[in-house]
Amino acid sequence: MDLLGQEGEVLFHGVLVKPGKPTLFGLVDGKPFFGMPGYPTSCLSNAYVFIVPALRRIMGLETSVPRKVRATMGVRYNSTLGRHHIVTVVLENGVAHPVFKDSGAITSMANAQGFIEIPTDQDLIEKGDEVEVILL
């Protein structure tokens, strides 16, 4: 981050997203620069949320509309108030089951078929609640 600060401009460092809080964005010689979290799950999930839309815009492409399906949550899931939570899931007969283990577990993404987003003002999804799954 020190080098980016010397060579360019840091626009933000740290986002209220779990996993992936240490995400960074800046400009170097007027060109966008992303600094991604080191853990695989954090990096990949934040790539879907931040980098893909940015790349599409830079390339002059329309904003993509992610494929989504409605599902029923298979378990009760606790989140953290104040952080936007991205939870990877697998789907079985219309039921979403979390596969997120921790930010360092690559299997959290390798086994996932999609993810759900839990907003910053929500700390719980009950088993049986309807959720929107963004397909990978």
Give the mean pLDDT of the chain: 88
pLDDT tens digit sequence for 14-53: 998 888 888 999 999 888 989 998 888 888 888 888 899 8
Where is mean pLDDT largest: 37-46, 48-57, 108-117, 120-129? Answer: 120-129
Nearest C-alpha neighbor of 126 from the set 75, 87, 70, 79: 75
Decide the pairing of beta strands 68-73 and 130-135.
antiparallel
**Region(s) of the chain under CATH 2.40.340.10:** 68-135
Q: Is the pLDDT of residue 105 over 60?
A: yes
Q: Which of 3-12, 19-28, 102-111 has the lowest mean pLDDT?
A: 102-111
C-alpha neighbours within 13 Å on the C-beta side of residue 52: 12
Q: Domain 68-135 in CATH: superfamily? A: MoeA, C-terminal, domain IV (2.40.340.10)
pLDDT of residue 102: 62
Q: Is the pLDDT of residue 75 over 60?
A: yes
Distance CA 106, CA 102 (A): 9
Nearest C-alpha neighbor of 101 from the set 40, 33, 32, 55: 40
pLDDT of residue 72: 98
